[in-house]
């Protein structure tokens, strides 16, 4: 079978062009600047709601996809916000609202991202929710390439990028 006739299915590397908007039509992301997004279908590299909506699409097909928070970045959790003492930050760090920071979670032995929500006199409010948590996402997607994944890609659970792209 010619790669041009392949459809989106597990074990295939997919490249999409997309525009992502949220309520009110505000565009929050697009492949226009970085080029198409490439991923291994079925490996959980993209949010579940978008991945599920792409099955069966062929190269050149276009689809409008609405993804609710439960199939995207989850609901906003107000308990996922913490105040961190100003003393915890190095003096030369210029903190400002919206700034993304990485923290090491010793309990789970992993690095997590949080963003500065507010700077108060006694501490910094850090929000550990994904910045799109609680949002219903609207994707305008076009499949631009589909190919079989290499054995290495399947073993590693992700696309190895443009090196194998058609």
Of the CATH numbers 2.120.10.70, 3.40.50.620, 3.40.980.10, 2.40.10.330, which one belongs to the domain with range 78-127?
2.40.10.330
Fold classified for 3-73+132-155: Chitinase A; domain 3 (3.10.50)
Q: pLDDT value at position 93?
A: 84
Q: Which residue has the higher pLDDT, 162 or 107?
A: 107
Pairing of strands 137-148, 12-21: antiparallel
Q: Tell me the pLDDT band of 1, cut-offs 50, 70 and 90.
A: very low
pLDDT digit string, tens, across residues 117-141: 999 988 999 999 999 999 999 999 9
Question: Where do the domains of the chain lie?
Answer: 3-73+132-155, 78-127
Assign 163 a pLDDT band (cuts: 50, 70, 90). Answer: very low
Average pLDDT, the chain: 91
pLDDT in tens, 61-117: 999 999 999 999 999 999 999 999 988 888 888 899 999 999 888 888 999 999 999
State how far the Cα of 70 lies from the Cα of 51, in Å rounded to an integer: 13
Question: In a 3-state reduction of DSSP, which class is residue 71?
Answer: helix
Report the pLDDT value the prediction gives residue 86, as an integer from 0 to 100. Answer: 87
The Cα 48–Cα 55 span in angstroms is 11
pLDDT, position 166: 32
Question: In this predicted structure, what is the pLDDT of residue 5?
Answer: 78
């Amino acid at each position: 079978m010619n790669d041009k006739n392949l459809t989106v299915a597990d074990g295939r590397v997919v490249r999409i062009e997309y525009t992502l908007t949220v309520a009110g039509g505000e565009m929050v992301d697009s492949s226009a600047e970085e080029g198409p997004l490439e991923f291994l279908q079925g490996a959980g590299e993209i949010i579940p709601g978008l991945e599920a909506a792409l099955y069966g699409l062929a190269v050149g097909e276009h689809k409008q996809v609405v993804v609710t928070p439960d199939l995207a970045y989850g609901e906003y959790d107000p308990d996922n916000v913490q105040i961190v003492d100003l003393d915890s930050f190095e003096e030369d760090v210029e903190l400002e609202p919206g700034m993304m920071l990485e923290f090491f979670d010793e309990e789970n032995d992993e690095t997590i991202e949080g963003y500065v929500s507010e700077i108060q006199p006694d501490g910094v409010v850090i929000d550990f929710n994904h910045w799109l948590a609680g949002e219903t996402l609207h994707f305008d997607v076009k499949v631009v390439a589909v190919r079989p994944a290499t054995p290495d890609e399947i073993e590693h659970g992700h696309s190895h990028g443009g090196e194998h792209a058609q």
